[in-house]
Amino acid sequence: MLIPPGPPQERIMSLNLDIESLRHGKELVKRGFARMQKGGVIMDVVNAEQAAIAENAGAVSVMALERVPADIRADGGVARMSDPLMIKEIIDFTTIPVMAKCRIGHSAEARVLEALGVDMIDESEVLTPADPYYHVVKDGFTVPFVCGATSLGEAIRRIWEGAAMIRTKGEAGTGNVVAAMRHARLLQAEIAAVQSSSNLKPIATRVVEKFFDLDREVKDNLGESAGFNAFGKERKEIEAGVLEILEDVKRLGRLPVVTFTAGGIATPADAALMMQFGMDGIFVGSGIFKSDDPNTMAKAIVEATAHFDDPELVGNISKNLGNAMSGLEEAQLETRMASRGN
């Protein structure tokens, strides 16, 4: 995303996201919670012991799941919503907000998580997608959602659906920051293109096309279609909503929701790099709990996120951390999680 002028810390913590101008009270609450996470670190945890490490390190939230992404990637098979009992135990144990993951498009899993009382749902590509065409329709939920994105178009579709927070996807469980950086770079370049555009309507039309993949498949099969989409809305109405979001992007020079980065953050320097690039915060899991010393690594990544503009401090806290997770080169990946749901 484009980085607004001003001191780095002020730039991250004081961005005007126009929260107060939202028309709907429910949306105000959802985006308000997401805004409370700004400048912080959200850590994947699999039990109360790891939740304690995250909370003691200064994490702003934890993400409750049965396996960190590195183990999900290594184990293979179908990855689903975590055991509700495990999620509830973490909710009861920790004093900071608890998030949990549902599969892309799996509204029933999302409803279970909402009933459990999680503070935010991550509709995540780390789990095996349930719906090959659509994400969860979020209007009927009171709990806010965070969704991943690899590009501006993907981010805008998720925001139009009701996501209160966006995170760049990266490649979770790899310990390799290159994909997170690729997605952040593309997002930045596409925001610049929107800002220089004199006519956003063709862009809105292009962004909306992905909502009609199923309808095009029907037409290919039958020779006719009915303009079907999961939202029960006319294309013109969807395009108008997407156009409003694009206008916000053009005016703000960034997404109109809190934007974190995720996937491959494995060191304090990785966290600082992504914050310097204009992100509002960090998701990390495998990078902490697959390191030699999770307690020390967790604290160092939190501190680097908060003081990303102080290279001397980041260097000092990077000393004697032990080995970071070994990580994977992109060429080694059998599964590209980031491509799911886009």
Q: How many residues does the chain have?
A: 342
Distance of CA 268 to the CA centre of its chain: 19
3-state secondary structure (DSSP) of residue 169: coil
Yes or no: say if 263 and 180 are a contact pair by the CB < 8 Å rule: yes
Mean pLDDT by groups of 10 residues along the chain of 342 residues: 42 43 51 75 93 95 85 82 95 94 96 96 93 93 94 97 92 82 94 98 97 95 92 96 98 96 92 94 84 93 96 96 76 62 71
Question: How many angstroms separate the CA atoms of 117 and 307, rounded?
Answer: 32
Asked whether the CA dihedral 38, 44, 47, 50 is positive or negative, the reply is negative
Q: Cα(99)–Cα(113) distance, rounded to whole angstroms?
A: 9
The pLDDT score that the predictor gives to residue 33 is 67
Q: Tokens for 39, please give them.
A: 């400048």
Q: What angle do CA 226, 227, 233 make, to 5 degrees?
A: 120
Nearest to 210 by CA among 152, 157, 131, 166: 157
Distance CA 158, CA 118 (A): 20
Global pTM? 0.87
Domains and CATH numbers, the chain: 8-192+254-339 (3.20.20.70)
Question: In the chain, which ranges are E strands?
Answer: 41-45, 61-64, 98-103, 120-124, 145-149, 165-168, 258-261, 282-284
Distance CA 165, CA 61 (A): 14
Please tell me the distance from the alpha carbon of residue 168 to that of residue 2, in angstroms, as a whole number: 14
Query: What pLDDT, on a 0 to 100 scale, did the predictor assign at position 334?
Result: 65
Non-local (6+) Cβ contacts of 55 within 8 A are 62, 94, 95, 96
Enumerate the β-bridge partners of residue 121.
Answer: 100, 145
Of the CA atoms within 13 Å of residue 316, those in its CB half-sphere come to 7
- The per-residue DSSP string of 261-273 comes to E-S---SHHHHHH
The interaxial angle of helices 178-196 and 152-161, nearest 10 deg, is: 80
- Per DSSP, the residues of 49-94 read HHHHHHHHHT-SEEEE-SS-HHHHHHH-S---PPPHHHHHHHHHH-
Residue found by looking up tokens 């991943």 in the block:
148
| Cα–Cα distance for residue pair 48/64, rounded to 1 Å | 9
In this structure, the number of other CB atoms found within 10 A of the CB of residue 323 comes to 10
Specify the residue for token string 């780390």.
Answer: 126
Please give the positions annotated as active site: 101
